[in-house]
Amino acid sequence: MSIVAFWSKNNKETAQTLSMIAIATHMSVEHNYKILVVDTYFDNPTIANCFWDSKQVDQNLAIKKLNQGKLDLGNGLAGLSQLVSSGKETPEAIKDYTKVIFKNRLEIITKNKAQSPADQAKLEAGFVDILKTANRYYDYVFVDLQKGFDKPFVKDVLQISDLIVLNLTQRLVDLDEYTELKEKNELFASNKVLPLIGRYDRFSKYSKKNISRYLGLKGEISVVSYNTLFFESASEGMVSNYFLKFRMSIIDSSDRNALFISEITSSTEDIINRIKALQMGF
């Protein structure tokens, strides 16, 4: 049971959210894990667009909770926050506030309606408790964490996370910023941090091998390449279908998606193996 925070130091485009979704979905398809994805953004529909029509989900959730007599608790993250505060959380109760993608494998929780500034601040203050509670019931809790350090809760979530997937680009300035971050903040110099390149371009001179050598990494850096079909699926609510269609066990090596799936598989294994090593004290 581990909390994995996907995070970037600044607001540059690192494909953080889609990298997390690709890895979480692939892991849920290929491994026997229960995974919860938590969205900490209030104005970014990326995760919702990956899997479903968000308006329809809001309507279905409201109807579901009305039938259960729970509508007064709210829905999505807001509802779960109140549930955790009330001390009434159970695995079954938490599921009432999630959207199931794959039964007993992958669930998503996000905000389902606009929050007032006061409600948003209250929810942000409760993120740590929400994650700790969810971590009791899921094998992995993947967190799409707001970028930078502007929000106070970000540092708290980074501290309690079992692993921080630090999202980078192939630009030299970003690689240097990562080195500087490790020098100034001991948290990011620890094995708890796993750097990952999103929208990786294999034709760049800043290849996995060269970047790993430049950063002084022991193995090759984790990557998620740009893949046209995946990115299209992510805007059409079809990500789950994509990973079911291109499973490791059935995809042909000549398929143009094979390399992308291979890299996702490798990055997934990097996360699993790093967490296992940390749990063993390495």
Which residue has better confidence, 71 or 166? 166
- The residues near 79 (Cβ < 8 Å, ≥ 6 apart) are 65, 70, 73, 96, 97
- The residues near 15 (Cβ < 8 Å, ≥ 6 apart) are 167, 198, 199, 224, 226
- Average of per-residue pLDDT across 178-186: 94
Per-residue pLDDT band for 200 (boundaries 50, 70, 90) equals very high
CATH node for 2-242: 3.40.50.300
- Average of per-residue pLDDT across 92-113: 82
How much of the chain exceeds pLDDT 70, in percent? 87
pLDDT in tens, 255-269: 889 999 999 999 999
Per-residue pLDDT band for 59 (boundaries 50, 70, 90) equals very low
- Average of per-residue pLDDT across 217-230: 94
* Average pLDDT value for the chain: 86
How do the domains of the chain map onto residue ranges? 2-242
Which residue has tokens 């193995």?
219
Closest CA to 245 of 35, 36, 25, 33: 25
